[in-house]
Amino acid sequence: MLHRFQDDIAQIARPERLNDPFRYEPHPLCQLAAQQVQTYLAQRTDWHAELSHGKMFGVLVVSDPSDELGFLAAFSGNLAGMNRHDYFVPPVYDMLAPDDFFRQDEQVISRINHRIETLEQAPRLLRLQQVINRTKALSETILSAEKQRMLAAKLNRDKRRSETTECHAQEELIRESQFQRATFHRLKRHWVHRIAALQEQEKSCLEEIERLQQERKQRSSSLQMQIFRQFRMRNASGEIKDLCDIFAHTPQGVPPAGAGECAAPKLLQYAFEQGLKPLAIAEFWWGASPKGEIRRHGDFYPACRGKCLPILSHMLRGLDLQRLPPLEDRGLEPTILFEDRWLIAVDKPAGMLSVPGKSDAPSVEQWARNRWPELSGPIIVHRLDMDTSGVLLLARNKTIHQNLQAQFRHRTVQKHYIALLEGIVHTHSSRIDLPLRPDPYDRPRQAVDPIHGKPAITEYRVLQIEAGKTRIAFYPLTGRTHQLRVHAAHPDGLNTPILGDRLYGTPDRRLFLHAERIEFRHPITGEVLRIESPAPF
């Protein structure tokens, strides 16, 4: 499993400490290792069809007990229907082994599935369901016709009431109305009882199906937890914890499906088991981007947070990690662009949060409250990503905050962003409409989802193309998280990430996205304000 470098690496400095798998720039040795893996994948013609759909691979540069350098390779999930291939490290736990309990329990669950399908397709049940559906339709037709007849009779009675004042005539009309209502209620009860009798017969047929479904659910849940117990993850300090223990203190409490099967945990587990010292780790995507996500062929990516953050937090314990300099500069401070008695506009620098987050990174809100202690209520009207710079509005009190937020909600605020894209956009101007939702397994990344996503619309205009890069103006009509970043990078958008996008593109010294201008109506004076801050790139 330990591969030696085919190229001369004598001039490449050896990593002193393992990089942070969640935020890194791939070490040159990782880049060489990835190239060797990619050459191997190109030779495996039997895998080309599967790999064309895309898969994450990982490499781990290690030193052996003789202090010789080499690397390990791994894939996420399984490959070609198997967990084990000679070139790659083995899984932490191989549930696909022929004699494993998973196979045996899976067969039991498969038999239950087959039994459920057989019962659901039983002729008697299908005929009964057809009769129920026809009876319901007939009931609705007859009752609807009866309601129309009653309405016509009521109109006739109203007319007759207006034409006579005789008591016995009025009493006769009342009796007629009461009789018709009673007749309708008897008719309605007849159909309710008739349908209920049929549904009772159906229920007797469905009881076995429901029992089997409950048994399947219990067996599947028990099997899943049993599987998670088999993933016994090691760390550099020699501690071993299974996935159930690792995820017990997370918000979800239990491991998500597929936990422990990503490339990074496999690589570290094998290195610890074999006495190899981890020096540098990286993961890259190979193949087409999965639907809804943004993964570019050959690009490196950080480890996923939903599945891997709790696992790797345990596995990396005992290692002195090499950390990149923090994105935020503790000396960052916004520039005031506009200020009056009611609102403030600032130029937020890249690397500064809009509102306080989980870390102690500086935020515009904290800075503003320190500068203007008299500010009351919520003050941040809208947000910019931490990596995005540009114009940000602040309200001095709750009333102003509500007014400005209403303008954003009603889409009367005009926003103008400038970005520099990694590649060339050939369409001069257009509109991007890709609904977005959070990726629950890899926050804060967003995914495109036309079914469950919220509307996200961006108009754009190409300003300049130079040296293979595109300078572009974005006009977002909605304000979803990472909207411009995803719309730029996604294959159904511009398919060209914003330069420096560490989540959806290639990291650089900064994210080249700037909120250059915002136009809105002053909540008090009614004046249309246009506040600008030229892009710093």
Label the pairing between strands 69-75 and 55-63. antiparallel
Give yes or no for a contact between 363 and 355, defined as CB atoms under 8 angstroms apart.
yes
The partner residues of 454 in beta bridges, in order of sequence, read 436
Tokens of 444: 């804060």
pLDDT tens-digit map of 115-137:
999 999 999 999 999 999 999 99
Report how far residue 340's alpha carbon sits from residue 529's, in angstroms, rounded to the nearest whole number: 12
pLDDT tens-digit map of 25-42:
899 999 999 999 999 999
Q: Which of 196-205, 359-368, 488-497 has the lowest mean pLDDT?
A: 359-368
| pLDDT the model gives residue 357 | 82
Over residues 304-309, the mean pLDDT reads 90
DSSP string, 326-367: PSS-TT--PEEEEE-SSEEEEEEPTT-BSS--SS---BHHHH
Give yes or no for a contact between 527 and 465, defined as CB atoms under 8 angstroms apart.
no
pLDDT band at 292 (very low <50, low <70, confident <90, very high): confident
Whether the bond into 444 is cis, omega within 30 of 0: yes
Give yes or no for a contact between 259 and 311, defined as CB atoms under 8 angstroms apart.
yes
pLDDT tens-digit map of 244-285:
999 998 888 999 989 999 999 999 999 999 999 999 999 999
Handedness of CA 294, 299, 305, 308 (dihedral sign): positive
Give residue 184's identity as a one-letter amino acid code.
F
Report the run of H or E that residue 300 belongs to, with start and end. Answer: strand 300-301
Q: Is the pLDDT of residue 331 over 70?
A: no
Over residues 221-239, the mean pLDDT reads 93
| pLDDT the model gives residue 330 | 53
Q: What is the per-residue burial (b if ≥16 Cβ within 10 Å, else e) of 364-384?
A: bbebbeeeeeebeeebbbbbb
Interior CA angle at 511 toward 414 and 298, to 5°?
120
Residue in 53, 117, 114, 116 with CA at minimum distance from that of residue 80: 53
Percentage above 70 pLDDT, the chain = 98
pTM for the full predicted model? 0.75
Label the pairing between strands 513-521 and 389-395. parallel
E strands within 351-422? 389-395, 414-421
Q: Is 10 exposed, middle or buried (0-12, 13-18, 19+ CB in 10 A)?
A: exposed
Report how far residue 4's alpha carbon sits from residue 299's, in angstroms, rounded to the nearest whole number: 22
pLDDT band at 325 (very low <50, low <70, confident <90, very high): low
Over residues 444-468, the mean pLDDT reads 96
| pLDDT the model gives residue 326 | 59
Over residues 419-441, the mean pLDDT reads 95
The question of whether 508 is a catalytic residue gets the answer no
DSSP string, 70-122: EEEEEESS-BTTBS--TTSPPPSS-TTSTTSHHHHHHHHHHHHHHHHHHHHT-
pLDDT tens-digit map of 4-31:
999 999 999 999 899 999 989 899 999 9
Residue in 525, 520, 535, 211 with CA at minimum distance from that of residue 393: 520
Report how far residue 331's alpha carbon sits from residue 362's, in angstroms, rounded to the nearest whole number: 9
Report how far residue 381's alpha carbon sits from residue 402's, in angstroms, rounded to the nearest whole number: 8
| pLDDT the model gives residue 358 | 72
Say how many C-beta atoms besides its own lie within 10 A of residue 31's C-beta.
Answer: 16
Report how far residue 165's alpha carbon sits from residue 173's, in angstroms, rounded to the nearest whole number: 12
Report how far residue 450's alpha carbon sits from residue 526's, in angstroms, rounded to the nearest whole number: 38
User: In CATH, what class is 335-532?
Assistant: alpha beta
Over residues 475-504, the mean pLDDT reads 95
Residue in 432, 436, 405, 421 with CA at minimum distance from that of residue 523: 405
pLDDT tens-digit map of 156-172:
999 988 888 888 888 99
Choose, from 347, 385, 387, 501, the residue flagged as catalytic.
385
Report how far residue 45's alpha carbon sits from residue 50's, in angstroms, rounded to the nearest whole number: 10
Report how far residue 500's alpha carbon sits from residue 503's, in angstroms, rounded to the nearest whole number: 9
Alpha-carbon distances, residue 449 vs 53, 290, 498 (angstroms): 18, 12, 21
Percentage above 90 pLDDT, the chain = 84
| pLDDT the model gives residue 155 | 94
Q: Is the pLDDT of residue 109 over 60?
A: yes
